Amino acid sequence: MSLAIRWYGASSTGAPLIYAGARLRRRCRRPRARLLAAATRRHPDGRGTVPRAPPRRPGRRRARRGAHRGRADGPARPRRFDLVVGADGLHSNVRRLAFGEEARFVRHLGMYVAVFTADNVLGLDNWQVWLRNDTAGAGVYTARDNAELRVNVGFMSGPLDYDRGDLHAQRTLVADRVAGLGWEIPRLLTAMWHATDFYFDAMAQIAMDTWSRGRVTLLADAGYCASPMSGQGTSLALVGAYVLAEELARGIEGAFARYEARMRPFAELNQALATENPGFPAAEESIERAEHAIRL
Ligand SMILES: Cc1cc2nc3c(=O)[nH]c(=O)nc-3n(C[C@H](O)[C@H](O)[C@H](O)COP(=O)(O)OP(=O)(O)OC[C@H]3O[C@@H](n4cnc5c(N)ncnc54)[C@H](O)[C@@H]3O)c2cc1C
């Protein structure tokens, strides 16, 4: 079998953004299989099609003449793959294309969070500080040998309608909602406006009846996001990838069903950690049960 694992990225218009590939070869009686973690267009027979790797940037001579420029920037020609694995996170494009709009699967947890880096203006020494009021909260801790602070701020809210591409609007929203926390938060928020690692999103989970359709399957946050509130998203991603790879190695036929049968109880128990005790950590027994809900 030749197992080609390629990672593709594409904008929602289909224009490729990134490409990095690796090819693994080993002898096997199974038919040829190709795995993709990809943005993909749905094919009527369930096969995914993805853009080709972006062409090299045109050389200076070509660029001057303008040759191929349109092609480099425009949508790439679709390609066919035997299997498609969507590992593209909470807002998965693969899921949208293969299963439908995110709203059908998202379970909003009533909270938004922002994370960014600030200089350690508080002089914290291997220390963390957490505070909250009725509607907002913050957690600040040191990183990189106390040189930096990781600032986490969050606020309670139902689903908000905002532009995920408009960082200025998101920063404004965060500043409005958490400034009332007091303490040093207003001072730390000044760093938010310049932080290059600013992150903002809803606390949300993904709940689906099935993670696979035809030859497309979903992995980790794309299919069963547990939210940062579970503290288990990375474990779900790593274990999910391991189980999926193991089942594919056992045989392509039925691999997605076996992957889901093994992973689903583990995923659901870990998702429950985020919801069983809203606003507070889950019970120790629940954490223990969730962590041991799968054998590898
Ligand atoms: C603030 C925060 C704190 C967290 N804390 C913890 C914790 O303490 N413990 C824990 O276990 N987990 C934690 N998590 C959760 C954990 O980070 C995720 O569950 C995990 O990263 C999921 O991995 P993933 O590969 O499914 O998705 P992601 O890590 O989101 O990776 C998806 C990738 O796909 C890429 N992508 C998406 N769309 C496209 C596209 N169209 N083209 C190209 N690329 C695309 C993205 O850029 C990204 O690199 C936290 C998450 C957040 C946000």
Burial class of residue 184 in the structure, from the number of CB atoms within 10 Å of its CB (0-12 exposed, 13-18 middle, 19+ buried)? middle
238 lines ligand 1 (CB under 6 A): no
Radius of gyration of the chain (CA): 22
How far apart (Å, rounded) are the C-alpha atoms in residues 157 and 154?
10
Detail the DSSP E strand segments found in 78-233: 78-80, 84-86, 106-119, 128-132, 136-143, 148-156, 199-206, 212-213, 216-218
- The residue nearest atom 52 of ligand 1, judged by CA position, is 228
Q: Are residues 80 and 115 in the same domain?
A: no
72 has pLDDT over 80: no
* In-domain check, residue 272: yes
The predicted pLDDT at position 281 comes to 84
26 has pLDDT over 70: no
| Domain limit, last residue, from 99, 118, 136 | 99
Q: Are residues 89 and 24 in the same domain?
A: yes
233 lines ligand 1 (CB under 6 A): yes
Q: For residues 184 and 122, is the Cβ–Cβ distance under 8 A?
A: yes
Q: How many CB atoms lie within 10 A of CB 6?
A: 18
17 lines ligand 1 (CB under 6 A): yes
32 has pLDDT over 80: no
Mean pLDDT of 266-290: 92
97 lines ligand 1 (CB under 6 A): no
Q: Are residues 117 and 184 in the same domain?
A: yes
Token pair of 119 as six digits? 């200089």
86 lines ligand 1 (CB under 6 A): no
Pocket test for ligand 1, best of 84, 85, 88 (most atoms within 8 A of CB): 88
* In-domain check, residue 212: no
Q: For residues 110 and 135, is the Cβ–Cβ distance under 8 A?
A: no
Q: Are residues 192 and 263 in the same domain?
A: no
220 has pLDDT over 80: yes
Element (H, E) at 17: strand 16-25
For the ranges 69-73, 101-105, 233-237, 267-271, the lowest mean pLDDT is seen at 69-73
Any idea which residue has 């889950």 for tokens?
282
- The residue nearest atom 48 of ligand 1, judged by CA position, is 88
* In-domain check, residue 49: yes
For residue 225, the ligand 1 atom closest to its alpha carbon is 19
How far apart (Å, rounded) are the C-alpha atoms in residues 156 and 133?
10
What are the b/e assignments for 56-81, b being 16+ CB within 10 Å?
A: eebeeeeeeeeeeeeebeeebeebeb
pTM of this prediction?
Answer: 0.79
51 lines ligand 1 (CB under 6 A): no
Q: For residues 224 and 211, is the Cβ–Cβ distance under 8 A?
A: yes
Pocket test for ligand 1, best of 50, 102, 198, 221 (most atoms within 8 A of CB): 221
If you average pLDDT over every residue of the chain, what do you get?
Answer: 81
At residue 79 the predicted structure's pLDDT band, cuts being 50, 70 and 90, is: confident
Number of domains in the chain: 3
Dihedral pair phi/psi, residue 225, rounded to 5°: -55, 130
At residue 54 the predicted structure's pLDDT band, cuts being 50, 70 and 90, is: very low
pLDDT tens-place string over residues 118-171: 999 999 999 999 999 999 999 999 999 999 999 999 999 999 999 999 999 999
- The residues facing 139 across adjacent strands are 130, 152
